[in-house]
């Protein structure tokens, strides 16, 4: 996670660097079209043996089209935004925003584990 004044493609290398210790088993990364560019393509080689796949919208599609793997990200955002504190960006620091995301994720996971 990075501040809102950092453009996605510029913050991606920092994000990957922080992920290499947390998720060492990660091998394939799906990214939005906003991350397209040289910085994200070069960063995985520095921090791990990862491949990056940019999921872009089709230029020929005029109506709504489900994009492969993009729906997973959108669905996850929808689940997280079900938490009142995450529906609006009111956190004062990155640390508190990250903590709220962890709490929301634990809530989702614990509900799924408890389901029959």
pLDDT in tens, 42-81: 777 777 677 888 877 777 777 777 777 777 777 887 888 8
Residue 9 in tokens: 């493609």
Q: For residue 2, name the pLDDT band (cuts at 50, 70, 90).
A: low
Coil, helix or strand at residue 13: helix
With beta carbons less than 8 A apart as the criterion, state whether 80 and 105 touch.
yes
What pLDDT, on the 0 to 100 scale, is given for residue 75?
Answer: 81
The pTM for the full model equals 0.58
Q: Are 101 and 80 in contact (CB under 8 A)?
A: yes
Residues composing the chain: 116
Decide if pLDDT at 87 tops 80. Answer: no
52/37 Cα distance (integer angstroms):
11
């Amino acid at each position: 996670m990075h501040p809102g004044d950092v453009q996605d493609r510029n913050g991606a290398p920092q994000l990957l660097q922080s992920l290499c210790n947390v998720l060492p088993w990660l091998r394939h990364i799906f990214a939005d079209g906003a991350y397209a560019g040289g910085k994200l393509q070069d960063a995985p080689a520095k921090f791990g043996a990862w491949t990056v796949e940019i999921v872009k919208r089709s230029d020929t599609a005029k109506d709504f089209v489900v994009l492969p793997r993009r729906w997973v990200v959108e669905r996850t955002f929808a689940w997280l935004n079900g938490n009142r504190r995450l529906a609006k960006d009111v956190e004062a620091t990155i640390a508190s925003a990250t903590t709220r995301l962890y709490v929301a994720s634990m809530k989702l996971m614990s509900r799924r584990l408890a389901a029959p």
